[in-house]
Structure formats: structure tokens, C-alpha cells
A and B are shown apart, each in its own frame.
Chain A
Amino acid sequence: MAETLLILDDILVQYGNVPILEVPSLAVYAGEILAIIGPNGAGKSTLLRVMGLLEQPVRGKATFRGQEVTRENALALRRRMASVFQEPLLLNASVVENAVLGLRLRGLDRRTAEGRVRPWLERLGIAHLATRPARSLSGGEAQRTSLVRALALDPDLLLLDEPFSALDPPTREGLLLDLETVLRTTGITTVFVTHERNEAVILSDRVAVLMKGRILQVGSQSQVFTQPVNEEVAQFVGIETNIPGVVEAVGEGLAQVRFNGRTVDVVGDFHPGERVLLCLRPEEITLSPARADAVKTSARNRLAGRVAKITPWGPHYRIVVDCDGARLVALVTKPSFLDLELAEKKEVVASFKATAVHVLRLR
């Protein structure tokens, strides 16, 4: 396991008597990108401020590189980090003057600071804007300037608070991919806060899910996205099919779960009679025509149902299939949508592998 860069211990933040954030413990490992995801108002920005030593929690301690943060060393430790926020928050000066700001605050002279900033301006594609007033920049250019200002500090820890959410989609994608390249090649330890789970998929090694001020799950990206610990997390990470059922039979690492008079095979060790929730990502479900000569699939589970709702979903169609009251959500591509001649009330078969089902035990 890599070195732990930052450890939060028993953190409590409250405004008035209202607890905003309660984190018993959280570690950031050197070299990783940790995404913190959660809905708006979950306390993500507060958590990032605590990590960046920008907000003093009511209780708890932070340890940076084995050094406990105190009032005396807070500034020195804060200067080994750099923050980028949703708004670029540039000063009314030129691009290059904004870019050197953090270095100048650390006492570097103008010439040295500009020398350090230059390669970063090139790398983020804004070198040609160096002398432009910050006020004249577009949203994307301004955010790139803000990123250069942070990256030029060569921080031990980079803190990103929804840096893309104020940008339009093409600008956002371009910057996201550029930043991903920069972070992967430099290996800068990063904490990345976002409410867009798709951004977290592109930019994270580990993911922490924060809801109502508490961390519900921390784990590798695939773990969080395919094996959520509860229904709330499941819904937030995009698992749209959640069907309650009861384990009927078990054997050889497989279990049969019954719901609404149907059975589904799943993988895992369960006991008969256990109440469970079947979770399925939309991309794991394949739809096929309800005819007998239907295409053979390797999928173990085949459920007949009727199309309940069709919604165009970006390049896909989102199809809700009703199986006697249980609702399955599938994503199909435009060609297969046309092939299947899908329409509301049409009978279809939804199939998925036993391994695709994530089973949550219900209490």
C-alpha cells in the first residue's frame, strides 16, 4: 500500500448545532486520485475544505505526511496543497500574473515564477493567452488558468472542487481529458469532488460516496460502481434496477432469488429465506424479441416483460421493462432499438448474467 498522505480522524463540522459533516476516518494515499461523489448539499465541498486546511472542524484532527496539523504549522502545510474551485476566481490581472500568483505568495521572484509557469501554460494550451487580461477569457480558458495556477505549485495534494461543473459540455470534456492526462503523467495526488458520476468514472482510482454528511462507502472505482453497499449508493452510482426478492434455493455458490413469482439466478453465498435486493446496471441488461426462436445468449437469466416507457438517452434509448410489477431499466443503442422495433406495451425478454447481479442483503 502506498504512503498515506493525508489522514482525517474523527472529523465533525457543524454550523450552529446542525452537523454538516461527520467523518470517523478517511485516508488519501500518495499518487492516487480519490473522487468524492454525492448529491448536492451532501457536504462534499466542506470535506474538501477540511482536507485543504481551509476550514477548522469543530472536532477531529488531520495528519499530513505524518505531521499533525496545528495552528502553528497550518500555513506551511497548506502551502504544500493547491485548490481549484468551481469558479476560476482569477484576479483582475493578466493570465500569467494569475498563473504565478501561488508561487509569488511563496516568495519567488517574478522571473523564476514565470519560468516555472511557462511549461504549464503550454501543457494546458493557453500559452498564447499569457498576456491577455483574465477578464477577457472564456469560461474554459479561465478554468485552465486556475488549473495552471495550482499545478505550477507542484503540490503534494491537489484539491478539485467540481472544477468542470460551470463549463458547457464540449469544454468540460476537453478539459477533463486534458487534466486526466496531466494527472496520470505527473502522478499528483488528487482529491476530486463531483456530483457527476460520469466524471468520477474518468477521473478516479478510488471513490468515496458522501451523503448527508457521512461517507457511506469508500473503495476502488469498480467496487463502488458495481457493488454498492446500500440502495441509496446504488441509485447514486447509476444502478437503476433495484428489485426486492427472497432467496429460495442455494447451491454451488449460486442462489435462486424469487420475486413476483419469477426466479433469478445470482452468484453468492446466501441462506434460503433471506430477503435481498437485486441490483443491475442498465448496461448489463440485453433486450430481445419475445418470440420462441429468440437469439440465444449466454445469459443465465431471461425475464419476459412488457416495455413500459421509452426515453431517448443521449446516444442510447432508456427502456423501462415491466415484469409483473418489477421494473427493469435497460439502455439500448439506436441500431438495436430499431432492430427490436421497440414500442410501448410490446413484449420483450430482458436477459442478464448471474454475475451481473449485485445482491444486497436487506435487514
Chain B
Amino acid sequence: MELILEGVLTAFRLVFSGDAEVWTITWLSLKVSGTATVIALTLGIPLGILMAMTRFPGRAFAVALINTGMGLPPVVVGLFISVLLWRSGPLGFLNLIYTPAAMVIAQVAIAFPIVAGLTMAAFQTLNPKLNLQLLGIGASRPQLLWLLCTEARLPLLAAVMAGFGGVISEVGSVLMVGGNIKGQTRVLTTATVLETSMGNFGTAIALGVILLTLAFGVNFLLTRIQQREQIRWPRPS
């Protein structure tokens, strides 16, 4: 009990005293996972929409592949990305191992199938005849896509949340490809693991609380957008 209380107190002290190291770690976590999520969305949403709206030979296989990817263990991703980026590996010349860029790559590999799979599921819940109806009252192709996205916003934003949630909280791959180097590749999860293993439960709990707050903040924002009732209009085209 004393341990937890001490942890919470440490957390307050670290956050409000503006401890430089904690802020560096928090900022890097947000930067790496945020970037990875944005890249995963850019790749995953179009792929998910394409998979939901088209039929092609081998589609069932591709869908199974994406669905498997949704449950990819981060340590396996970490292993593969490590092998690829290792100095003597096929992409070793890029000198990316133990850098934030390597961590972004690993997290994209984790979040991308989650986003693609959930986007696909989101678009498959729409009535296929809706396309024709929207075109039939004068939607252009881009407008059609936008309206379908707003119509699927509930599950679509769930995809965004799942993607971000999946990477901000994972430790396996960032530890392996980032190396948990202080001031360079240390993020909230890897720091928490380290502090716990050293018996610094106070600091570990503090980092855990910051991580939770961060995850809650982002999800709260997304939920607000998700639950909005009105249709948002982009500039007319």
C-alpha cells in the first residue's frame, strides 16, 4: 500500500516539477507512436476501403493475412525488424537500428494491419447500395469517399484508437529495435520496464500513470469526434 502511495506521490512530483528526463521520455513516446499511427492510417485506411469495396482473385487470402497481422506479437515484429536493420542485415546500410526511426518502422508494422483490418470491417458494415444512392444525388467520387467515411465514423475511429492504443502501450518491439538508450530511444514503456526491474517502483508507477493519462487523453479526443452527430463538410468540390 505504501509502495503505491509513494508511486503516486513520485508521479505528481515528477510531472509537476517538470523533470527534464520524464518529459523527454513522454515526448518521444508520443512522437514515435503518433508518427507510427499516422503512417499506419495513411496506408491502412485506403487498403481497408479497397479490400472492402472490391473483389479480386486471392482476396480471401489477403483478408486472412491482414486478420493474422492484427494479432501480430510485438516481439516477433521486433525480431524481424531487428534482423532487417542489423548492421550486417539487408537494410543495415541505412544505419537505423537503435534509432527512433527504427521504432516507428516497428510500430507501423504493428498498427498497419490493425487499422486496415478494422477499416475493412467498418466499410463492410455499410449498405453497398449507399454508393449508388450518393452518386445518384450528385456526389463526386471524392465526396462519395468522404461521406462513406463519415457514415462509418464509429468503427473507423475505433480503428484509429485501436491502432494508437496498440503501439503506445507495446514494449517488445521498441525495446528490441530501439535499445532503450537513455535520452535517445527510451520511451514510457521501456523506461517502466527498466525502473521496475531496478526496484524503483515509485518512478515506474509514475511513468505508468503518465502513460495511462496520455492514452486516455488521446482516446477521449477521438471519442468526442466519433460520437459527434453532425456531418462535417469539407470544402465543396
Indicate with 1 or 0, residue by residue over B90-131, a CB within 8 angstroms of chain A CB atoms.
Answer: 000000000000000000000000000000000000010110
Contact between A101 and B135, CB atoms less than 8 A apart: no
Q: Is A49 an interface residue (CB 8 A)?
A: yes
Contact between A101 and B129, CB atoms less than 8 A apart: no
Contacts of B143 in A (CB 8 A): 105
Contact between B136 and A85, CB atoms less than 8 A apart: yes
Q: Is B233 an interface residue (CB 8 A)?
A: yes
Contact between A153 and B132, CB atoms less than 8 A apart: no
| Cα–Cα, bound, A79→B136 (Å) | 8
Contact between B138 and A89, CB atoms less than 8 A apart: no
Contact between B132 and A105, CB atoms less than 8 A apart: no
Contacts of B129 in A (CB 8 A): 85, 87, 89
Q: Is B147 an interface residue (CB 8 A)?
A: yes
Contact between B137 and A75, CB atoms less than 8 A apart: no
Contact between B130 and A82, CB atoms less than 8 A apart: no
Q: What is the chain B residue whose CB lies nearest that of A88?
A: B133
Contact between A91 and B147, CB atoms less than 8 A apart: yes
Q: Is A299 an interface residue (CB 8 A)?
A: no
Contact between A91 and B151, CB atoms less than 8 A apart: yes
Checking B127, B136, B139, B231 against A87 with a beta-carbon cut-off of 8 angstroms, the contacting residue is B127
Contacts of A234 in B (CB 8 A): none
Interface hub of B127, B137, B147 (most chain A Cβ within 10 A) = B137
Contact between A52 and B127, CB atoms less than 8 A apart: no
Contact between A101 and B230, CB atoms less than 8 A apart: no
Q: Is A97 an interface residue (CB 8 A)?
A: yes
Q: Is B184 an interface residue (CB 8 A)?
A: no
Contact between A91 and B138, CB atoms less than 8 A apart: no
Contacts of B133 in A (CB 8 A): 83, 85, 89
CB distance from A219 to the nearest CB of B (A): 28
Q: Is A362 an interface residue (CB 8 A)?
A: no
Q: Is B140 an interface residue (CB 8 A)?
A: yes
Q: Is A14 an interface residue (CB 8 A)?
A: no
Interface hub of A78, A81, A84, A105 (most chain B Cβ within 10 A) = A105
Q: Is A54 an interface residue (CB 8 A)?
A: yes
Contact between A78 and B138, CB atoms less than 8 A apart: yes
| Cα–Cα, bound, A87→B236 (Å) | 27
Q: Is A93 an interface residue (CB 8 A)?
A: yes
| Cα–Cα, bound, A268→B129 (Å) | 49
Q: Is B19 an interface residue (CB 8 A)?
A: no
Contacts of A335 in B (CB 8 A): none
Checking B132, B140, B151, B231 against A75 with a beta-carbon cut-off of 8 angstroms, the contacting residue is B140
CB distance from A329 to the nearest CB of B (A): 38
| Cα–Cα, bound, A85→B133 (Å) | 7
Indicate with 1 or 0, residue by residue over A141-180, a CB within 8 angstroms of chain B CB atoms.
Answer: 0000000011001000001000000000000000000000
| Cα–Cα, bound, A79→B140 (Å) | 9
Q: What is the chain A residue whose CB lies nearest that of B236?
A: A107
Interface hub of B127, B135, B136, B143 (most chain A Cβ within 10 A) = B136
Contact between A106 and B138, CB atoms less than 8 A apart: yes
Contact between B236 and A97, CB atoms less than 8 A apart: no
| Cα–Cα, bound, A67→B135 (Å) | 20
Q: Is A282 an interface residue (CB 8 A)?
A: no
Interface size on A, residues (CB 8 A): 29
Contact between A97 and B138, CB atoms less than 8 A apart: no
Indicate with 1 or 0, residue by residue over A54-90, a CB within 8 angstroms of chain B CB atoms.
Answer: 1000000000000000000001001101111101010
Contacts of B150 in A (CB 8 A): 91
Contact between A93 and B229, CB atoms less than 8 A apart: yes
Contacts of A83 in B (CB 8 A): 132-133, 136-137
- With A87-B129, A91-B147, A106-B236: A54-B138 Cβ-Cβ less than 8 Å: no
CB distance from B107 to the nearest CB of A (A): 32
CB distance from A162 to the nearest CB of B (A): 12
| Cα–Cα, bound, A83→B129 (Å) | 12
Contact between B151 and A49, CB atoms less than 8 A apart: no
Q: What is the chain B residue whose CB lies nearest that of A82?
A: B137
Contacts of A52 in B (CB 8 A): 136
Contact between A78 and B135, CB atoms less than 8 A apart: yes
CB distance from B151 to the nearest CB of A (A): 6
Contacts of A87-143 to chain B: CB distance below 8 A: 87, 89, 91-94, 97, 101-102, 104-107, 133
Contact between A97 and B136, CB atoms less than 8 A apart: no
| Cα–Cα, bound, A111→B127 (Å) | 29
Contacts of A92 in B (CB 8 A): 151
Checking A54, A102, A106 against B132 with a beta-carbon cut-off of 8 angstroms, the contacting residue is A54
| Cα–Cα, bound, A75→B140 (Å) | 7
| Cα–Cα, bound, A98→B233 (Å) | 13
Contact between B139 and A105, CB atoms less than 8 A apart: yes
| Cα–Cα, bound, A82→B134 (Å) | 10
Tell me the A residues contacting B by CB distance below 8 Å: 49, 52, 54, 75, 78-79, 81-85, 87, 89, 91-94, 97, 101-102, 104-107, 133, 149-150, 153, 159
Q: List 22 A-B contacts (CB under 8 A).
A: A49-B132, A54-B132, A78-B138, A79-B138, A81-B138, A83-B132, A83-B133, A85-B132, A87-B129, A89-B129, A89-B133, A91-B231, A93-B229, A93-B231, A97-B231, A101-B137, A102-B138, A104-B236, A105-B140, A106-B236, A107-B236, A153-B137
